Amino acid sequence: MNTQEPKRGASLVRGAITELDGLRGLAILFVILHHFWPEEGVLAPFSGIAHLGWIGVDLFFVISGFLITGILLDSVERPLSFRIAIAEIEGSLHRRARAIRPDSGV
């Protein structure tokens, strides 16, 4: 019986998937292009491309759903850890809310 833990990819460090950072960067780029694309000038004819910025928002939702699902699936393997997983998700959402609105009482 093999008791060794399977090797993880080089991109997996402390539970983080570094490739997701690249996807987040693309999502940010899509949203920024959507908001700041010039309506006049040389780039104006290509404004149809820039108006696909909603893809960045959808990508953020997909990444968030993937991460939350991963936390919940990991918690199924550990007994009595579902409540801990929910607390982790709540804590993450509270940290995000504080980052967005640091002056709020969240």
For 61-80, the pLDDT digits (tens) are 999 889 888 877 777 776 66
Q: What is the pLDDT of residue 62?
A: 92
What is the mean pLDDT of the segment spanning 29-40?
Answer: 84
β-bridge pairing 12-13 and 16-17? antiparallel
Q: What is the pLDDT of residues 7-32, one digit of tens each?
A: 544 444 456 788 888 898 888 888 88
Alpha-carbon distance values, 44 to 1, 29, 32, 50, 55 (Å): 64, 18, 16, 10, 20
Q: What is the pLDDT of residue 81?
A: 64
pTM: 0.58
